[in-house]
Amino acid sequence: MSCASKSAAIAGVPVVRPGGRGGARYELDEEALRRVLLRPGVQELPAVVVSVAGAYRGGKSFILDFFLRYLTAAPPSQLSGEWLGIEDEPLKGFHWRGGAERDTTGIHLWLEPIVTTTSNGEKVGNPYTSCNLKTHFFWLTHTNVAVLLMDTQGTFYSDSTIAQNSAIFALSTFISSVQIYNLSGNIKEDDLQPLQLFTAYGKLACEGDDKAFQTLLFLVRDWASPYEHAHGYCGGATLLSKRLQSKPNQNPELREVREHIRSCFDSIKCFLMPHPGHAVEKQNFTGCLRELTEKFRLKLLELVPSLFDTPKLINGERVRVQDLFDYFRKYVDIYNGDEAPEVTTIYKATADISLLAASRAASSVYAAYMEPRINGPRSLSRRVLADAHAAARASAEKVYAQKKKLGSQTDVHDRLQELIKELQASLSHYELSNDANVRKTVSLARKAYDTAVSN
């Protein structure tokens, strides 16, 4: 079958859409977000959130579909490189297309988180990488994580307002663990502008060794000077160090970005991608491998496997898939406020959610201790129940204390008091259901006794 004869469109789930006030507000589709994030068996896993942001018609959705292909391939073909697929397979997943009009608007997530395994820090080389960077590795020991793929609006220099552009870029950076900043041709001076917010935020949020964000990857498409800086991570590293150098005649704000950006992200990388070949300009191009140049394919093999090993962290703590729901809600609310968001407001929101996540983890520990006792075959005396509560509460408080938390001492203390109240309320609930069990047992025993006596 010819490559061009098959359809290539499925699309992701729009979770944030431009809404009122001429597109300057955002609507969060909570129902859609719930369907993606709150899935049994997945919602408790650490989240790896990979976002691609940048100007429209820059090939973002197109490359995301290769991420999808990699993530859904069997592990042996991930290792051998066969995940790239067969020559005549059209590229499917997030909707991408030719032409000059924008396609994706707002933020789209892939239909479901994709469960995969990451290494626990043991590194081996990616056979496709062209240089010896330590950043590429395949897993050796196993930790399950859930990867979320995020496609963003990216109408940077088109009909949307600056506020709209920077909001989507900011939202996706705050929520992701790997922000891929997709650029055409080069890293230009203006491209650094959207990073200003993160340096300001980073200064506020850095505590100890924990940086505010994890990975920022400049992905330069159609890099045309490989003799100067080679394609791939190697050439990317040398180009990046040149672009991030401070010089006296630079715009002072962008000089500050250059000086501080490294203190906000755990890792800043750059990858130089070759042009995919002139087939991309044809109207009936469906993204089949056959139509992509050998160079482009080789660089996909280097780039794609390197992207999914960075869990989302807030203050050094892994964020679970279900916790992302609160992050989306809070951040979208902030961007819908009347004022331009201040970094302090964003910091406060992040701190609130980090405390909520710590207290949720503590509540889960409490419930895991209590539930099997309450639902066991025998009802318990009030005294035994009170002892169980005391032990479960102690474990919960320990977990809360151990979790790294953002926020002031007062906020941390207040959230602990809330947690203790919630656990006390759970105890009352357990007591009621235990009393009902006791009554049921007594009534069954009485019935059995009456039956035995009457016989």
Q: Which residues in this chain contact ligand GDP in the complex, by CB under 6 A?
A: 56-62, 96-98, 103-104, 154, 221-222, 273, 275-276, 280, 285
Question: Phi and psi dihedrals of 392, rounded to 5?
Answer: -65, -40
Tell me the C-alpha distance between 150 and 160, whole Å: 20
Residue 78 binds Mg ion, judged by CB under 5 A: no
Which amino acid is residue 258, in one-letter code? R
Q: By C-beta, is 19 or 277 nearer to ligand GDP?
A: 277
Structure tokens at 268: 């800043």
In the bound complex, which residue of the shown chain has the CB atom lying closest to ligand GDP?
59
- The HSE-up count of residue 125 (CA atoms within 13 Å, CB side) is 8
205: amino acid identity, one letter = A
Tokens of 318: 């892994």
221/320 with CB nearer ligand GDP: 221
242 SS3 class: helix
Residues 32-71 that bind Mg ion (CB under 5 A): 61
Task: Give the binding-site size for Mg ion (rule: CB under 5 A).
Answer: 3
Query: Least distance from C-beta 3 to ligand GDP, angstroms?
Result: 13
Q: How many helices (H) and strands (E) does the chain have?
A: 13, 11
Nearer CB in complex with Mg ion: 18/235: 18
Cβ-contact 250, 197 below 8 angstroms: no
How far apart CA 89 and CA 382 sit, in angstroms, is 65
Do 23 and 142 contact (CB within 8 A), yes or no?
Answer: no
Q: Give me the residue whose beta carbon is nearest to Mg ion.
A: 61
Structure tokens at 343: 């970094």
CB 1: neighbour CB atoms within 10 A?
A: 7
SS3 398: helix
The answer to whether 104 contacts Mg ion (rule: CB under 5 A) is: yes
In the complex with ligand GDP, the residue whose CB is nearer, 202 or 232, is 232
Question: Which residue, 63 or 300, is less far from Mg ion as judged by CB?
Answer: 63
Structure tokens at 418: 């809330």
What is the smallest separation between the CB atom of 279 and ligand GDP, expressed in angstroms? 8
CB of residue 400 to ligand GDP, shortest distance in Å: 42
Shortest Cβ 285–ligand GDP spacing (Å) = 6
Identify the helix (H) or strand (E) that includes residue 17: strand 13-18
Taking the least distance from each CB to Mg ion, the nearer of 159 and 339 is: 159
By C-beta, is 13 or 399 nearer to Mg ion?
Answer: 13
Task: Decide the pairing of beta strands 317-318 and 13-18.
Answer: unpaired
Tokens of 104: 């994706």
What is the Cα–Cα distance from 121 to 314, expressed in whole angstroms?
19
Identify what 98 binds: Mg ion, ligand GDP, none; CB under 5 to 8 Å per kind: ligand GDP
Residue 97 interacting partner from Mg ion, ligand GDP, none (CB closer than 5 to 8 Å by kind): ligand GDP
- Asked if residues 14 and 35 have their Cβ atoms less than 8 Å apart, the reply is no
The item of ligand GDP, Mg ion, none sharing an interface with residue 221, based on CB under 5 to 8 Å by kind, is ligand GDP
Of 113, 167, 151, 145, the residue nearest 333 (C-alpha): 167
Q: How far is the CB of 401 from Mg ion (least distance, A)?
A: 44
Which stretch in 99-107, 235-243, 246-254, 357-365 sits in contact with Mg ion by CB under 5 A? Answer: 99-107
Q: Which partner, Mg ion, ligand GDP, none, binds residue 305 by CB below 5 to 8 Å per kind? A: none
Query: Would you give the DSSP letter of residue 46?
Result: B
Report the residue number, 230 or 370, with the smaller CB distance to ligand GDP: 230
Structure tokens at 378: 């025998």
Residue 171 CB, nearest approach to Mg ion (Å): 16
Minimum CB–partner distance for residue 182 and Mg ion (Å): 10
Measured from the CB atom, the residue of 59 and 407 that comes closer to Mg ion is: 59
Return the one option of ligand GDP, Mg ion, none that residue 17 interacts with (CB less than 5 to 8 A, by type).
Answer: none
Least spacing, CB of residue 91 vs ligand GDP, in Å? 9
Binding residue for Mg ion, selected from 3, 68, 103, 138, defined by CB under 5 A: 103
Least Å from the CB of residue 9 to ligand GDP: 11
What radius of gyration, in Å, describes the C-alpha atoms of the chain?
A: 26
Q: Residue 150 phi/psi, 5° resolution?
A: -125, 120
Interaction site with Mg ion (CB under 5 A): 61, 103-104
